[in-house]
Structure 1
Amino acid sequence: MDPLSQVISFLELRNYRVGGFEAGGDWSIRFDPFKGVKCYAVTSGACWLAVEGAGEPVLFQQGDYLLLPHGSAFRVASDPALPPEDWKRHFLGVREGALVKLNDGGGVTVLGGHFQLAGPQAEMLIGMLPPIVHLQSKTDRENLRWAFDRMRQEMVDAKPGGVLIIQQLATMIFVQALRLYLDDSKGVGWLFALSDKHVGAAITAIHREPARRWTVAALALEVGMSRSGFAARFGQLVGDGPIEYLTRWRMLLAGRSLSRGEPVGAIARSLGYESESAFRTAYKRVMGSTPRHHARLAAVG
């Protein structure tokens, strides 16, 4: 499994809610802070989006897609100058997968999903993303249009099994939106580094064999670079050195195993540590708590 698929699978991605709305005339809605990620598409018309702490409102037009990865409160409106209504007035109690109409609709249609992400891996995936991920190129539209068109049809038809189909489509849209964002953007972090031929190959090797006694020299040889050139490029693209990244990935794997109730000794050995004490020290340094504390919290939760 490739690194992005691995991390997303670790997130235990869940569809908290899927739905949409059609709005006409003058309108403005404020949504509260939320946990997880929201993914939307404007399938007709246009509207303004303002995310708290993210600067000026942004205009989204037909065919645009967006992710809101940090859970900040936001407003959606026909005019950003309009005073907003609370979302509960229109959306509270609406059935899953419904298409809500504001002012009888007719102006703009917005479809989307709200995902909850579980575990410390969530920060590893979304911590480096901006407050608004805006996808608007022609390629983006072609790749996502079919899924959103099908989602809207399922909402309108309301046939048996429709909610499950909508949820699966929303999950696919979330992953595809991340992929498109990586293709179109530059940044620092493992997520962006995946598209680099050499550093991406090194990250894949680490994910494939996390227990191997990797060194910087061994990873450089794996991807066909000099040790110094590889170390410099990895640090430039990822923001951490190769061994720091390896340790962090091991600890994320360990956290998942601890949540499943696996013994600390077995986890340490499976990740290449010769002693429990070395593993415990690394875990506390990276994760900020002891393995025993993590296991205890998982058992209570």
Structure 2
Amino acid sequence: MDPLSDIISFLRLRSYLVGGFEAGGNWSVGFDAHEAIKCYAVTAGACWIAVEGAGAPVFLQKGDCFMLPRGQPFQIASDLSLPPDDWRRHFLGTEEGALVKLNDGSGVTVLGGHFALAGPQAEILLGMLPPIVHLRGEAETLRWAFERMREELTDLKPGGILIAQQLAAMIFIQALRLYLNENKGTGWLFALTDQRIGAAIKAIHREPSRRWTVETLAVEAGMSRASFAARFRQLVGESPIEYLTRWRMRLAERSLEHGEPIGAIALSLGYESESAFRTAFKRVTGTTPRHHARSSGHRNAVRFLA
């Protein structure tokens, strides 16, 4: 499995909601802070969006997509100088998959949905993304998936929820791909687009238990040790061994949450002793493997009872 797929496999997509709105004339709607990732496509017309903490407002045109991964409050409008209506006035209580009409409902169409990522690893991915991801001219790439998701959730056919879940994952991954193609940054996500450093990251994810060194990872990247170490830190923001250890601990967390024995986990991740594994786990996560296992068991029980 490739590194991006590895990470996303940790993040359980949930709370799928799809729909959108059609707006005409002068309009403005304000939305509170939210936990879910919002991902939308402008399929007709144009409008403005201002996200708290994201800097200058963004002008959205037909064919644009935007994703809001950080959950900050935002305003979307024909004119941002208009006082925003509370979103509840128009959207609260609407049916799943509905298109809400603002004013006469002609001129601007925004179609999309939102979903949440469960699990403590979500910040590994979301923390690298800006408050708004603006994808210019990419609506057609995602529009089919949005419309199909809406159909599945409104028609209520057998298997519809499962199809909607798979579509949600596809939309999210495709939006990430489009964003990576257009942007540069620091972190493992952006480093995947670098052929040589990406090869080293893929090797780590392919064999996390292997006794990797900077030298052997440099061979995977086809670089000298010094050049590889400097390039890796420049792109990823940490050393190759730091990244390897952190990824091993992410895998360990998942195994602990599944109830696997600590000794078996240590061996599966390349540690010769349980003691060495415990030390690494606490250094990276700030807690002990046993405490993490107990805490995750408590959280699972609460979710079940809820």
Deviation at 1:293, TM superposition (A): 1.8
State whether residues 15 and 167 of structure 1, in contact with CA within 8 Å, keep that contact through their aligned partners in structure 2: no
State whether residues 96 and 163 of structure 1, in contact with CA within 8 Å, keep that contact through their aligned partners in structure 2: no
Partner of 2:6: 6
Deviation at 1:167, TM superposition (A): 4.6
Instruction: Give runs of ≥4 in structure 1 deviating > 2 Å.
Output: 140-152, 157-171
Give 1:173's aligned amino acid.
I
Q: Which moved more, 1:288-297 or 1:56-65?
A: 288-297
Per-residue Cα deviation, 1:80-115 (whole angstroms, up to 9, x for no partner) = 011111111111122222211121311211111212
Over the residues paired in the alignment, what is the CA RMSD in angstroms?
1.8
State whether residues 42 and 62 of structure 1, in contact with CA within 8 Å, keep that contact through their aligned partners in structure 2: yes
Aligned residues: 297
Report SS of the residue matched to 1:181.
helix
Report SS of the residue matched to 2:197.
helix
Deviation at 1:257, TM superposition (A): 0.9
Q: Distance in 2 between the 1:226 and 1:242 partners?
A: 14
Q: Distance in 2 between the 1:40 and 1:25 partners?
A: 21
Partner of 2:43: 43
What is the correspondence of 1:175-186 to structure 2 with a 5 Å cutoff? 175-186=173-184
Per-residue Cα deviation, 1:217-236 (whole angstroms, up to 9, x for no partner) = 01111222111111111111
Equivalent position to 1:223, from 221, 224, 249: 221
Q: 1:19 to 1:166 in 2, by over 3 A?
A: farther
State whether residues 18 and 170 of structure 1, in contact with CA within 8 Å, keep that contact through their aligned partners in structure 2: no
State whether residues 113 and 146 of structure 2, in contact with CA within 8 Å, keep that contact through their aligned partners in structure 1: no
Partner of 1:171: 169
Partner of 2:205: 207
TM-score (norm 2): 0.91
- Alignment of 1:128 with 2:124, yes or no, is no
Report SS of the residue matched to 2:155.
coil
- Alignment of 1:197 with 2:203, yes or no, is no
Deviation at 1:163, TM superposition (A): 6.1
State whether residues 215 and 225 of structure 2, in contact with CA within 8 Å, keep that contact through their aligned partners in structure 1: yes
Partner of 2:284: 286
Q: Which moved more, 1:111-120 or 1:245-254?
A: 111-120
Deviation at 1:263, TM superposition (A): 1.5
Q: Distance in 2 between the 1:223 and 1:216 partners?
A: 10
- Identical columns (%): 71
Q: 1:36 to 1:291 in 2, by over 3 A?
A: farther
Partner of 1:29: 29
Partner of 2:84: 84
Q: Distance in 2 between the 1:25 and 1:215 partners?
A: 62
Q: Distance in 2 between the 1:121 and 1:230 partners?
A: 27
Q: Distance in 2 between the 1:160 and 1:9 partners?
A: 26
State whether residues 97 and 166 of structure 1, in contact with CA within 8 Å, keep that contact through their aligned partners in structure 2: no
Q: Distance in 1 between the 2:147 and 2:273 partners?
A: 54
Report SS of the residue matched to 1:231.
helix
Deviation at 1:171, TM superposition (A): 2.7
Q: Distance in 2 between the 1:30 and 1:46 partners?
A: 17
Per-residue Cα deviation, 1:123-143 (whole angstroms, up to 9, x for no partner) = 111211111110004xx3443
- Alignment of 1:256 with 2:254, yes or no, is yes
Per-residue Cα deviation, 1:4-41 (whole angstroms, up to 9, x for no partner) = 01111111122432211111122211111111311111
Structure 1: where are the runs of 5+ without partners? Answer: none
Report SS of the residue matched to 1:120.
coil
State whether residues 145 and 167 of structure 2, in contact with CA within 8 Å, keep that contact through their aligned partners in structure 1: yes
Partner of 1:298: 296
Partner of 1:147: 145
Partner of 2:110: 110
State whether residues 37 and 70 of structure 1, in contact with CA within 8 Å, keep that contact through their aligned partners in structure 2: yes
State whether residues 188 and 235 of structure 2, in contact with CA within 8 Å, keep that contact through their aligned partners in structure 1: yes
Report SS of the residue matched to 1:285.
helix
Give 2:110's aligned amino acid.
V
Structure 2: where are the runs of 5+ without partners? Answer: 300-306
Q: Distance in 1 between the 2:263 and 2:162 partners?
A: 40
Q: Distance in 1 between the 2:270 and 2:57 partners?
A: 49
Give 2:229's aligned amino acid.
A
